[in-house]
Structure 1
Amino acid sequence: MSLSDTRIRAFKPKDKLYRVADRDGLALEVSPAGSKLWRYRFRWAGKATMMSLGPYPAIGLAEARQKAQEARGKVSTGTDPRSSRRSAREAQATADAALFEAVASAWRIEKQEGLAQKTVDKITAILDGDLIPSLGKVDIRTLGTPEAAAAIEKIAARTPHTAQKAKSYLNQIIDFAIRKGHREDGRKLTLKGTVRLPKAKSVPAAVEEEALKRVMGVVSKYPERMIGAALRLAAYTALRPINVVSARWSAIDLERAIWKIPGAEMKTKVDHDVPLPKQALELLREALGWRRGGSKKDWVFPAIAERGTPHMSRDTLSKALRDSGLRGIHVPHGFRASFRTRAREEFDVDIDALEAQLAHSVGDATQKAYNRAKQLRKRIEIMQRWADYLDALVGAQSKDRSDC
């Protein structure tokens, strides 16, 4: 007896799965849980075979009979009715793999290998916060410049520098898609001009002798001893402020007067040996007396508060100079410009030695390390002369005041 909707609704679940035939190979399967599924039974390659046509009532009786008839027609022509469904699934899988979201996620996995966690977090923030929300469901095989440019311009309206990074990542994702076969060779995006970066502001720095004299007068007499010591160390070494505030005792050899900063802590990712002049050694030996125990015992300038970083913040140094009347005149990073300008003019030193001391990026990693090692002897002499010069400025300022 053929099925009807009335009969189908009356079928109740049993302890075991059972099937009720309709006609021409169509049957309804009822599970112990009560769900109902259409099945089409046929013979293929000499064997009894069955395929699903979908659940009832989502697929009604009339539609199930139509699907069964279509499948029967394919069997009669020697075509496996399941092959088109497999092809459809494979096509869908290919399409899903080519979505921007999927390709970007695969690129991220490859990209993040060997990167610092901070860099990985930046990539994740731009992908998950900007690019994927805008382009995630777009097929990367057909992604065009107008769509991509609109996504970048949307970011640029908020944060130009983030947009610049996003543009770089987007181009890398397109290259990755081409390499993995998701996109035709040569189908690049044209994103030039989508981001206009604001004009870079120069860092306030005392590069003239009188201005530097004023700055050193403030630094040498700063009332809070730990902050004052950090500012003086920044001046004596011309290091980036982050390297100063994150200084570790385990990296400093007071006997050999050398500070070995590992590449992981350097902007250039190359190990950096810093010669320590006598003045820097003196203040570091004094700082040993303030050394704290516990988890902060290795920090030269440990944080006072328990929140944030375990060491002093760069902002602490910046605020100290601002509050001392040097706003717009000098910032902690400015000691690097002061050193580069004044040391060059006062001592007529080798520019390569200056660049090596500043750990500026020149050449590949091997060349950088070689240059700094080669220039170390020169740098030891330069840094002592520099520290003596700074102390002379402080002495000159004190004399100027006493003469008033």
Structure 2
Amino acid sequence: MPAGSKTELTDMRLRAAKPTTKPYKLFDAHQLYLHVSPSGGRHWRWKYRYDGKEKLLSFGAYPLIGLAKARAKRDEARRLLADGVDPGVAKKVRIEANVAASRLTFEKVAREWHEINASQWAKIHAADVLRCFERDIFPGIGAIPLRDLTPPKILETLRAIEARSAIETAKRARQRVLAVFSYAIASGLTDNDPAEKVGAALKPLPRKGRQPAITDIKQLRVMLKAVDDDPARPVTRLALRLIAFTAVRPGELRGARWSDLRIWKENPRSGASLLPG
């Protein structure tokens, strides 16, 4: 009925509302009404005054937005108005925030984190980290907004890595996801780290058996010749030969001083005694 009475609406009246040659309104309490257009569109609207001006706020189409939900939206807008907030402006800000959050995907934040940290890393390590993201992580969760990521979704991505029998790679990938979320939390982009909760669900690393060892002198000569013939840089080949003589770890050799070489040479538990005097 055009310009219906201002008594509260009922679901029966709403279902019976049909389009006419002219638009009309079905009023509910506190300035809420359903606008019915000649084309058949039915939309909830709420009229209010702010800063001395009459304004209109839309709550969506009926029946997608039912009577109860329309009233709840109206009551929330009235509470904002009572607090001195323009409900229309608050709605616009909320929509803009939701759009911005949807664009803030995990991949976007991860690449930002990588770019900031890459300058502090060796080029090989920086490339390895990015390759891990692009190969193992982005296909599963890269396109998902940061705020929508859940522990089960992250675990699903890590499980796919474990399925390749790459358990250590899965654990390393989780550490990198953790680092991205730590950066995001510190930057105010999110306040939750879903990757923190999935560590206990990952498979444990298998126990390492004894490391392979060459005990035959002929095999050792073959290995050393292969090292010498390798197309690596000369310093790399020399480092490998020195490791064979000293039995030290690569990290120890990298940071070694001349005084360390003297200690290794005198160490009877390794092949360091083979070092030239």
TM-score by structure 2 length?
Answer: 0.54
Superposition pairs for residues 5-16 of structure 1, below 5 Å?
A: none
Query: Which position in structure 2 is the counterpart of 1:246?
Result: 232
Q: Which residue identity is paired with 2:99?
A: Q
Query: Which position in structure 2 is the counterpart of 1:85?
Result: 92
Post-superposition shift, 1:93?
A: 0.8
Q: Which structure has the greater CA radius of gyration?
A: 1
Q: Which residue identity is paired with 2:108?
A: A
In structure 1, what is the Cα distance between the partners aligned to 2:139 and 2:181? Answer: 17
3-state SS of the aligned residue for 2:126?
helix
Specify which of 98, 103, 106 is matched with residue 100 of structure 1: 106
* CA separation of 1:230 and 1:196: change in aligned 2, threshold 3 A: same
In structure 2, what is the Cα distance between the partners aligned to 1:115 and 1:61? Answer: 66
Query: Which position in structure 2 is the counterpart of 1:76?
Result: 54
Query: Which position in structure 1 is the counterpart of 2:186?
Result: 179
* CA separation of 1:92 and 1:229: change in aligned 2, threshold 3 A: closer
Q: Deviations over 1:14-39 (max 9, x none)?
A: xxxxxxxxxxxxxxxxxxxxxxxxxx
Specify which of 178, 186, 202 is matched with residue 194 of structure 1: 202
Query: Which position in structure 2 is the counterpart of 1:215?
Result: 219
Contact 1:107/1:173 (<8 A) preserved:
yes
Query: Which position in structure 1 is the counterpart of 2:135?
Result: 129
In structure 2, what is the Cα distance between the partners aligned to 1:121 and 1:149? Answer: 24
Post-superposition shift, 1:76?
A: 0.5
Query: Which position in structure 2 is the counterpart of 1:386?
Result: 274
Contact 1:206/1:334 (<8 A) preserved:
no
- For these two proteins, the number of residue pairs brought into alignment is 205
Contact 2:106/2:146 (<8 A) preserved:
yes
In structure 2, what is the Cα distance between the partners aligned to 1:134 and 1:219? Answer: 41
Q: Deviations over 1:166-222 (max 9, x none)?
A: 122112122222212233367632313413434446553224xxx22x3356579xx
3-state SS of the aligned residue for 1:182?
coil
* CA separation of 1:132 and 1:186: change in aligned 2, threshold 3 A: closer
Query: Which position in structure 1 is the counterpart of 2:11?
Result: none
Contact 1:100/1:136 (<8 A) preserved:
yes
Contact 1:206/1:335 (<8 A) preserved:
no
Query: Which position in structure 1 is the counterpart of 2:259?
Result: 374
In structure 2, what is the Cα distance between the partners aligned to 1:131 and 1:123? Answer: 11
Post-superposition shift, 1:131?
A: 1.7
Query: Which position in structure 1 is the counterpart of 2:71?
Result: none
Q: Percentage identity across aligned positions?
A: 16
* CA separation of 1:335 and 1:359: change in aligned 2, threshold 3 A: closer
In structure 2, what is the Cα distance between the partners aligned to 1:372 and 1:61? Answer: 88
In structure 2, what is the Cα distance between the partners aligned to 1:219 and 1:185? Answer: 51
Residue 230 (str. 1) matches residue 237 (str. 2): no
The gaps in structure 2 that reach 5 residues or longer are 1-36, 57-85
Q: Which residue identity is paired with 2:103?
A: D
Q: Which residue identity is paired with 2:233?
A: A
In structure 1, what is the Cα distance between the partners aligned to 2:110 and 2:227? Answer: 47
Aligned Cα root-mean-square deviation (Å)? 4.6
In structure 2, what is the Cα distance between the partners aligned to 1:165 and 1:151? Answer: 13
